[in-house]
Amino acid sequence: MMISFRETKELREGSLCSAYRWSLRLSWTFIGLVRQFHYNGEWADSHTMVYCIALMKDIEWGAYHFWYEGPHCLFSLGPFRVQWYNSSCEICNKD
């Protein structure tokens, strides 16, 4: 299930997207807020601006940070993973 919130027009000149919005996603394995962008007539998920709790197949423990087109901060407790966006994360931004 997905609940989408108010759209915001993209005002930056030269941007490929026309608008942004936040969506609340709910499923058996995922609950979270996901930033979406409107591109080529369709909505797509941002993979960096995500705040969620997810049930994963792999078992991991502790914090994990990496950079892939933006910072990714995660904390795992076994199969449960919490992810959040932190643009000023010194660990993510170091890579």
Name the residue range of residue 18's domain: 2-94
pTM of the model: 0.77
* Whole-number Å distance between alpha carbons of 75 and 82: 5
Q: How many domains does the chain have?
A: 1
Task: Read off the tokens for 80.
Answer: 């449960």
Encode pLDDT of 47-90 as tens digits: 778 899 999 999 999 999 988 878 889 999 999 999 998 888 88
Nearest to 22 by CA among 42, 8, 40: 8
